[in-house]
Structure 1
Amino acid sequence: MSKQLAFEAWLACIEAEQAGVLATILQTELPLTNPESSRMFISNEGIPIGDLRDASINAQIMEIAIRKLHEKKPKSETYTFSGSDGLEMSFFIDVYIPPIDLIIFGAGHDAIPVANYSVSLGLRTTVVDSRSFYNSDERFPGIRRIVTNEDGYQENIKIGNRTYIIVMNHHLEKDQKTLEFVLNSQSPYIGLLGPRSRRIRMLETLEEEGIVFSDSQLQRLYSPIGLDIGASSSEEIAISILAEIIAIKNGHRGGFLQGAEFIHNN
């Protein structure tokens, strides 16, 4: 693959807001006989485009790229490698990670502060509800809205491994259908509003219908939702929910900082 194709794939990755890595040769002890071999792109699926003219270096770049694509906060860095011929080459490994997505299922009154606070945190926020009167621009100004019922989920909603989910339809059957859909996705966080007994009831009903989830799927289900801060109002509950999402995203448990050895550590 050519340098141009690798760079085009990188630009396409950014435009499509997909995660990817671009490795570019900064310095080498020998001039490149083929200028097109100065870049390699690695997609979020781990598919390489390009060839850095050395199989050993290609493998090392791939290893770093895949590791970075799985990190919570990957950083672009410069690396120096020795090729199979013993010569050193320096590379800049550029990482693009798209913004976090948050999808809120349910456009009730308590979804409004969740959506507003989510946007203020820089999360790409989407509200899903089939009721156009509730799921309106007046109630959710400037927020992406999908007006569909459960039958339209597969066609209209895409959930990736950086998509966080909140289920708050306030309707038992809708929440059951939504859980069936989102638990089969790559979402790292699925928060379900309501008490523990309600969650158990829904999962038992789904199991009676032959829909059983694995332990790894259920580990991503957070219910009751939110951090325990004594929240009571819709605004406080929204802060509790989003605080939990921030903690999960950053790999933290969300406890008190007082007495902690480190503060805001990576």
Structure 2
Amino acid sequence: MKEIKAIVKAYDDISPGTHAALATVVRVEGSSYRRTGARMLVLDNGSWTGGISGGCLEGDALKRARLAINNSRPTLITYDTTEDDPHQIGVGLGCNGVIDVLFTPLDLHDKKNPVEILKSCVQASRDTHVLLTVTHLEGNWNIVREGNVIKYTDANSLTIINSRTIESQIDDKVNLQLVENKSAPAQFTAEGNHIEIFIEILPPEISVILMGHQYDVYPMSRLLKELDWRVSICGDVLKINPQIRSYTDQIVAMTDLTSLTIDDHTAIILMAHDFNTDKQNLLKALSTPASFIGMLGPKVRSEKIWKELSDEGHEISPADMERIYAPVGLDIGAVTPEEIALSLAAGIKAAFAKRDGNFLKFRDTPIHTRN
């Protein structure tokens, strides 16, 4: 979401008379530094925001984007780094991947252009959005055009396709991708017409609630904000340095946890450094739909909290134990508050990505799922 926000801001700052195009990675086959959904906003003055690779394709992308602006027509370009052709952009990088990038000129007066649709997603960031980008068409199409982005909410969003057979096929595929929580390219054919689309599942930004007000919330807040996650502090407001406000979205009293928006994309970290406070805060956290609840301190401390709660009639269910990460964080040998913040942030990311946080050198399969 951070890149999308940067693109939206750059788009809103475009000067009158300036033209722009949006480059979007819509398909990746094999290995690539960036994955599908990576974007790059290019202005006709040569400035750009975002990126579609590690820097190796951006130079050519600038030319392609400006060409799309001049031609007023979307263009789908394939970069193949698996070929030995010395004239192919990206050869010699060792990525061994095929990347499809859609270059779409933007009509700045069209409130349904791709960046305007992205802006609407940013403004409703706690929702999971589904965007369908039309990348290729064959046959007779009355309304839909290459480069169109359809914001899917239900089957009724697909009436622009004007083919009930294909609409039904797309609806089934979208719901499958929602279950898998993965973006993917797809193609559909019916009645002599063919359409290729990029189905993008855009989850909300991760939200982290730090329940505590000690000095270690400061490096944690700074790191999380650099990741562009949503950061809230729940603690003794009078003891929180006002300077931390620039790194947080909300600061509330410990008794006001329920005033915060908490969903299944939320992580709650118990870091009061007080046994009884953390014990009571664990009960509060378990009453929310947060899918990640982290507890600082050694495992024996957490086990003592669980036992005392059980003795007091608050038995923690197996399902709730699945949500609890104690001790929280990855084992990186963290010692300082900054290193501990790194360990915690990495652990949260691994949990939401359903990864184990191990060294990539020990991974037997590709880092990302391949098409």
In the superposition, the TM-score normalised over structure 2's length comes to: 0.57
Where do 5+ consecutive residues of structure 1 fail to align?
none
What does residue 16 of structure 1 align with? 124
What does residue 254 of structure 2 align with? 149
Task: Assess, with a 3 A threshold, how the Cα gap between structure 1 residues 68 and 230 changes in structure 2: closer, same or farther.
Answer: same
Percent of pairs identical after alignment?
A: 26
Structure 2 contact 213–272 (Cα < 8 Å) conserved:
yes
* Superimposed CA distance per residue, residues 157-202 of structure 1 (whole angstroms, 9 cap, x where no aligned partner): 1112222221112233432333223334343322111222332233
Of 112, 115, 129, the residue aligned with 2:221 is 115
Of 155, 167, 188, the residue aligned with 1:81 is 188
Structure 2 letter corresponding to 1:64: K
What does residue 103 of structure 1 align with? 209
Structure 2 letter corresponding to 1:97: P
* Superimposed CA distance per residue, residues 127-166 of structure 1 (whole angstroms, 9 cap, x where no aligned partner): 111x12333322453322322223x222x11112222221
Tell me the distance in 2 between the aligned counterparts of 1:70 and 1:102: 24
Cα RMSD for the two superposed structures: 3.4
Of 246, 249, 264, the residue aligned with 1:161 is 264
Structure 1 letter corresponding to 2:325: Y
* Superimposed CA distance per residue, residues 235-262 of structure 1 (whole angstroms, 9 cap, x where no aligned partner): 2222221222232233322223445446
Structure 1 contact 135–145 (Cα < 8 Å) conserved:
no
Task: Assess, with a 3 A threshold, how the Cα gap between structure 1 residues 216 and 50 changes in structure 2: closer, same or farther.
Answer: same
Tell me the distance in 2 between the aligned counterparts of 1:185 and 1:54: 43
What does residue 132 of structure 1 align with? 237
Tell me the distance in 2 between the aligned counterparts of 1:63 and 1:181: 39
What does residue 64 of structure 2 align with? none
Deviates more, 1:85-94 or 1:217-226: 85-94
Matches within 5 A, 1:56-67: 56-67=165-176
Structure 2 letter corresponding to 1:247: A
* Superimposed CA distance per residue, residues 35-56 of structure 1 (whole angstroms, 9 cap, x where no aligned partner): 7xx986444xxx4442434454
What does residue 139 of structure 2 align with? 29
Task: Assess, with a 3 A threshold, how the Cα gap between structure 1 residues 243 and 137 changes in structure 2: closer, same or farther.
Answer: same
Tell me the distance in 2 between the aligned counterparts of 1:231 and 1:204: 28
Greater C-alpha Rg: 2
Residue 221 of structure 1 deviates from its aligned partner by 0.8
Structure 1 contact 20–97 (Cα < 8 Å) conserved:
yes
Moved runs in structure 1, 4+ residues, more than 6 A?
Answer: 7-11
Of 186, 195, 199, the residue aligned with 1:93 is 199
Asked whether 1:227 is paired with 2:330, we answer yes
Task: Assess, with a 3 A threshold, how the Cα gap between structure 1 residues 263 and 210 changes in structure 2: closer, same or farther.
Answer: same
Structure 2 contact 139–192 (Cα < 8 Å) conserved:
no
Tell me the distance in 1 between the aligned counterparts of 2:187 and 2:327: 48
Residue 9 of structure 1 deviates from its aligned partner by 9.0
